[in-house]
Structure 1
Amino acid sequence: MKVVRVVAGEFGAVVDGLAEVLVDSVAGGASMGFLLPFGLVEARTWWSRVEPEVAAGRTVLWVAWESSGVVGTIQLKLELEYPNGRHRAEVAKFMVASWARGRGIGRGLLGAVEAAAPGLGVSLLVLDTETDSPAEGLYRSAGWTELGVMPAHSADPSGVLRPTTFFFKQLA
C-alpha cells in the first residue's frame, strides 16, 4: 500500500476509485454526509466538486493505493478565508474500503496528513466522527484528544440522527 497526494490534474485517474470507496463507505453505514440510496453516479458527481477545491488549494487530498486500485482516502480542509485561523485545518472524508480495513491503511492516511500539515502552515487539526464508530479507537491511539460529543449532530446513511464525537490534535 502506498499513500500519495493527488493534485487537481490527476483526478481523472482516481475519481472512479474514489467514488467506489465512497459508495462502499456509505453502504457500510459510515456517516459521510450522504443518505441511502447512494450510488456511483452521485459519488462521482460529489467528487467532481472536490477537484476545484483541490485546484484552488483549499483542500489537500491523499489516496491509498494497492495493486487493486484506490483503497482509501483522506482530505485536509485548509482555512484560507480568515487569517486568524490559518494555523488550523479539518480532516475530512477519511475512509477506507470495507474489504481493506484492519491492515494499517487508515493509520497510513492519517499519518500522511499529520506529516504534511506543518509544511502547510497547520499546527492544529480537528475532525469529527460518529460516536462509538471504530474510527474513535484509531484517533485515540494516534494521540488525538476528544473535545466532546454533540448529540443528534448528523444523520447516518439511513437517516437516523446520531451523536458525533469531535477530536483535535496539536502538532509540534
Structure 2
Amino acid sequence: MITRLSKISFDDALEDLTDILHSCVHTGASIGFILPYSRDDARTYWRDRVRPAVHAEALDLFVAYGEGRIQGTVQLIPAAMANQPHRADVAKLLVHPNARRRGLARALMATLEARAVELERTLLVLDTRSSDPSRILYQSLGFRIAGEIPGYCRNPFEDRLEPTTYMYKPLGQP
C-alpha cells in the first residue's frame, strides 16, 4: 500500500523512515550522505529537514507499506520559483534493502507521478550518481538523460569523486 504521509502521521513513521535511510546509505545508495552515517544522523535528517517541509506542505512524502511497516519512500518537491510552476523535483527514492525487487520503487514513482499531474506539474527532474543502479530504473520509467556532471559527488565508501546524471521526464506529453 502506498500513501502520502500527512503532518499528523509523520511522527508515527519516523523510526521506519530512519531505518530505511540508514540502511540505504550503508548499502551505497546515492542520496547525498556518506559513511560514517549513524541512525541518529538519519533521524535528524527526517525530523529536522523533511518534517518541517511536510508540515509547511512544501513537499509530498510518499511511503510504501509492507509487512506491517514502511518499506520505501520518495519525495515530490514542487519548484518554488515563479518561473517554474510546471516543474517538480523527485528526491530520495528509497527502498529498504530487504524489500527490493518487489516493485515498490515503481509503485512509489507511479504514485508520485499521479500526484505531480494532480498538481499540474508537467516536468519532473532528478539526479543520481551515474554509476547508481537507480539510473536504469529511471530510464525504464521514461526519464531521459539531460547530462552528466563529472566530479559532482563523493563516493559513499571511498574518498573519490564521481559523476552525477541529471534526468527529466515530461508528463502528459507523448
TM norm. shorter chain > 0.5: yes
* Percent identity over paired residues: 39
Query: 1:117: which partner in 2?
Result: 116
Query: 2:150: which partner in 1?
Result: 151
Instruction: For residue 56 of structure 1, report the CA deviation from its aligned partner.
Output: 1.1
Instruction: For residue 60 of structure 1, report the CA deviation from its aligned partner.
Output: 0.7
Instruction: For residue 78 of structure 1, report the CA deviation from its aligned partner.
Output: 1.3
Give unpaired runs (5+ residues) of structure 2.
none
Query: 1:78: which partner in 2?
Result: 78
SS at match of 1:83: coil
Instruction: Give the Cα–Cα distance (whole angstroms) in 1 for the partners of residues 14 and 67 of structure 2.
Output: 16
Instruction: Give the Cα–Cα distance (whole angstroms) in 2 for the partners of residues 137 and 68 of structure 1.
Output: 29
Instruction: Give the Cα–Cα distance (whole angstroms) in 1 for the partners of residues 133 and 153 of structure 2.
Output: 17
SS at match of 1:147: strand
Instruction: Give the Cα–Cα distance (whole angstroms) in 1 for the partners of residues 28 and 65 of structure 2.
Output: 23
Output aligned runs, 1:17-166, within 5 Å: 17-48=16-47, 49-80=49-80, 82-158=81-157, 159-166=159-166
Q: Is the 8 A contact 1:71 1:96 kept in 2?
A: yes
Q: Is the 8 A contact 2:30 2:132 kept in 1?
A: no
> Runs (4+) of structure 1 moved beyond 6 Å?
none
Query: Are positions 1:171 and 2:171 aligned together?
Result: yes
SS at match of 1:76: strand
Instruction: Give the Cα–Cα distance (whole angstroms) in 2 for the partners of residues 9 and 160 of structure 1.
Output: 41
SS at match of 1:85: coil
Q: Alignment length, in residue pairs?
A: 170
Q: Is the 8 A contact 1:17 1:69 kept in 2?
A: yes
